[in-house]
Amino acid sequence: MRERWWQNLYLQVLVAIAAGVLLGVFAPGTGTAMKPLGDGFVALVKMIIGPVIFLTVVGGIAHMGELRHVGRIGLKALVYFEVMTTIALALGLAVVNLVRPGAGMGVDAASLDAAAVAEYQHKAEASGVVGFLQDIIPKTFVSAFTDGNLLQVLLVALLFGIALSRIGEPGRQVLDALDRLGKVMFGVVHLIMRFAPIGAFGAMAFTIGKYGVGTLASLGWLLASVYLTSLLFILVVLGTVARLSGFPLWKFLRYIRAELLLVLGTSSSESALPRLIERLEELGCERGVVGLVVPTGYSFNLDGTCIYLTMSAVFVAQALSIDLSLGDQLLLMGVLLLTSKGAAGVTGSGFITLAATLGALAGKVPVEGVALILGVDRFLSEARALTNIIGNGVATLFVARWEGKRDDVKMRAALDAGPPAA
């Protein structure tokens, strides 16, 4: 049966976002009270992410057959991720030095509200590369799903998939059962997505109601700089990657437009993760590639977060009238190559990583300086979340083509036709 226009998820989320903005502007108290709607929807999505990742990865590896393909895909993905995040860091550093959004603010370091960032500073100190690597190993098989750590789920799925592929015919019945269960789980995803407009409405109403449009104006130059740099990265860098990989970026963006709106409304790229997996399979990427690249990318390929981190760190220094030499900024970039991965999967990871990075600069910039952007961080998170999801989608299509695991005929047909009805 043909979908009626008012049943289109893209339109529903768009209307919901607009309604949330209006409520936040004209009734900020009521808008702030809508927070549970956004939080509840994101919690529903996070509930299903673990099983979807597990079933996708296990099925992909088992169907792939030869395990050397798994290692090769993982290595290619990590090489790609490191190149892209380095470019994102360098681009953010170049733009923030060019436009200097914090210059002339003349903020006195003694006036900063240390209490406002104490919670983030504590989490930053608790995170780190060593802790991040140790945290990849779950305490139990089940805790990989209950703790919400994507890399833990990925590790368990890899081990399970490899074991399943090695036992031969006896594992066929298990694999068939998992394939059927996977279809059920994606059915659950479709049911949850029906609540997406409510979640987007609640999250946007809360953001505007709590922080207000006045907050946007006070740090508007920083916001504009981050958004424009993210747009530059998407159009130029990711556009070039897409062109080299044989597909037009604008068609891909059109194909995932409902997912992008969902990310915009909730300020979380995780809210669209299950749907992104489904969309990439529709575009001809083999399940094994999608299952490996997407969840790994959510921890290692945070292009938008990298842009935000370099620009915000230098902005704080500029606002405090602290001169960072070229050596200081190269050190900053080196630290961010590590810390941008170290806090992955933590709620508010971008802000926490920023605090961790300033803390690693040998006292050059006070960590309390992050309080300067606390009010607009929610708006900045939308830019980094959108860039992150687009970056991971392009990465999956690129690696799938690189590995010869992408059906280009199917991809072009899907891109020309547009996404199927929700």
Average pLDDT, the chain: 81
- Please state the domain extents for the chain: 5-417
Helix H or strand E segment including 303: helix 303-319
Q: What is the mean pLDDT of residues 101-122?
A: 59
Q: Considering only the top CATH level, what class is 5-417?
A: mainly alpha
pLDDT at 232 over 90: yes
Answer yes or no: are the C-beta atoms of 78 and 300 closer than 8 Å. Answer: yes
Q: What is the mean pLDDT of residues 412-422?
A: 83
Two tokens, residue 140? 């139990």
Please give the pLDDT value at position 343: 46
Beta-carbon contacts of 346 under 8 Å, excluding residues fewer than 6 positions away, are 123, 127, 352
pTM: 0.80
Tell me the pLDDT tens digit for each residue of 53-99. Answer: 888 888 877 776 666 777 788 889 889 998 999 999 999 999 999 98
Closest CA to 93 of 198, 251, 226: 226
Q: What whole-number distance in Å separates Cα of residue 82 and Cα of residue 85? A: 5
- pLDDT class for 271, splitting at 50, 70, 90? confident
DSSP category for residue 420? P
Task: Specify the higher pLDDT residue, 330 or 413.
Answer: 413
Q: What whole-number distance in Å separates Cα of residue 353 and Cα of residue 338? A: 10
pLDDT at 282 over 80: yes
Beta-carbon contacts of 317 under 8 Å, excluding residues fewer than 6 positions away, are 102, 323, 324, 364, 365, 369
Answer yes or no: are the C-beta atoms of 385 and 268 closer than 8 Å. Answer: yes
Tell me the pLDDT tens digit for each residue of 1-58. Answer: 455 656 677 788 888 888 988 998 888 889 889 989 888 888 888 888 888 888 888 8
Q: What whole-number distance in Å separates Cα of residue 261 and Cα of residue 267? A: 10
Q: 3-state class of 406 per DSSP?
A: strand
- Phi and psi for 145 in degrees, rounded to 5? -90, -35
Tell me the pLDDT tens digit for each residue of 219-229. Answer: 778 888 999 99
